[in-house]
Amino acid sequence: MSSQKPLCMMPGPTECSDDVIQMMSTKATSHTDPHFAACFRELLKNLKIVFGTSTGQPFVITGSGTLGWDQTCANLLEQGDDVLLLSTGFFGNGFGDCMKAYGANVDKISAKIGETYDMEKVEAALKSKHYKIVAAIHVDTSSGVVVDVEALCKLIQRISPSTLVVFDSVCAAAAERLYFDRWGVDVVIAASQKALGCPPGVSIVMVSQKALETVNNRKTPIHAYYVSWKRWLPVMIAFEHKKPAYFTTPCVQTIMALNLSVRHLVELGMEEVFKRHKETGDKFVKAIRSIGLVPLAVSDNVRTGAMTAVWLPQGIALPDLLSKMLSRGITISGGLFQGHATEYFRVGHMGVSATDPSLDYVDRTIAALNDSLIEAGYNHKSRL
C-alpha cells in the first residue's frame, strides 16, 4: 500500500482543493468574529447562486447530510400528514424512515435497481389523495440514478400545486442542474462533503417562502430544538446582513472552508460546473464499458455525472477489489442497495475531481481499477 494518504474516490467524502484543506487549519476563531461573519454572509449569498434562487432561505447548520432530513421533517411534518416518497435506492428508503419517525403516513413508490420511478404511477398517486409533501432523492448515492427534477415539479404543479416539493440533493448539489425558483422546488437538502468540495460537517437546506409559511401555520409546536427553523431563521438573517448571531456554536473552520469551495464554484460558473461533471462522468463510464463493465444505471438518461455504481464482473469479490484498489492508493466504495450490496462497487468523480482539469484523479482511478481487476483474475479482451 502507498505510504501516502489514499485518494478518496468514493461518492463522498470527496477530495478537496489544497486551499480548502488549508482553510480547515485556521486557528481558533470566534463565531462572532467580523471576518467569520463576512465569510458566512458570502456563503449564504453564493449558495443561492448554486441552487438557482433569489427567494429561497438557506439554513447552514453544523451536522451531516442526514440532519437535513430531520430539519425538513421536524419543521414541515405534523402527526398524520400524508407524504408521497419516490425512492430510487437506499437513501430514499432512509428518508422515508425519518418521515415515519415524525409521524407521517408515507406512501412509497420504489424504482427497480438502476431505474427511476414510473411517472404514470406518480401521477396516479397524486390524483388519488392530497399529499402535504412529495419527496425524492435527486441522486441516490446507492445506485447512481438521477431523477428528472423539472418533470416531477411540473407534474406536481399541474395536479396538486399546494403540495410541497422536497429533494434530497446531497449527492447532486453542484453536480446536477437544479433551478430552485424556476422549477418551483420548496426544499433542497445538501451537505458539504460531496460536489460542493469541502470536508464533512455542514448540513445545508434551502427553503422556499411557501415552506416557511407552512412552518408558521403549523397546528402543533415543532417537536424539536436544535433543528427548529424558527430558532435558526434569525441567525441566518443576521449573518446575511454580516451581523453575528448565536443559537449554537457553528463549526467555524468548516464553514469558512465551505465558503471558499463554494466561491470557487461560483467563480467558475454553475453551468460550467455542471458541464464538467457530466463530461467527467461520461469519461469514466466510457472507460469501464471499454473493458466490459456495466453501470447500474440502466441508461445514460438516468445516470448521474457525480458518481458511478458498477456491477462487479462474475467471479470478482467485492472485498478483494476494494483491497486491491486501496493497495494502489485509491479508496472506492461497495454497494448499499438492499439485496445487492455485495454485487457492485461505487466510484465518486465529483467536486475537484471533475472541476479542476489539472488533477488526474479520475485517470488514476481508471488505471488502478483496470490493474486491480486483472490482478483479481478478470479476463476481458479489452485492456485500458
* Domains in the chain: boundaries: 7-14+270-375, 19-267
The H helix count followed by the E strand count for the chain is 14, 14
Residue 177 marked in a binding site? no
Q: Would you say domain 19-267 falls under CATH 3.40.225.10?
A: no
Neighbour-count burial for 248-265, b at 16+ CB within 10 Å, e otherwise = eebbbbbbbbbbbbbbbb
According to the model, what pLDDT value does residue 3 have?
A: 55
According to the model, what pLDDT value does residue 1 have?
A: 41
For the domain covering 7-14+270-375, report its CATH number.
3.90.1150.10
Q: Hey, what's the cell of 163?
A: 403540495
CB 17 within 8 A of CB 197: yes
Instruction: Give dist(CA 379, CA 238) in Å, integer.
Output: 61
The residue among 51, 95, 352, 363 whose CA lies nearest residue 199 is 352
According to the model, what pLDDT value does residue 322 have?
A: 98
- At residue 120's C-alpha, the angle toward residues 117 and 125, to 5°, is 90
Query: Residue written as cell 414541515?
Result: 76
The stretches in the chain having pLDDT less than 70 are 1-3, 381-384
pTM: 0.96
CB 69 within 8 A of CB 189: yes
The residue among 114, 21, 6 whose CA lies nearest residue 332 is 6
pLDDT in tens, 128-172: 999 999 999 999 999 999 999 999 999 999 999 999 999 999 999
CB 126 within 8 A of CB 155: yes
Give me the amino acid identity at 151: A
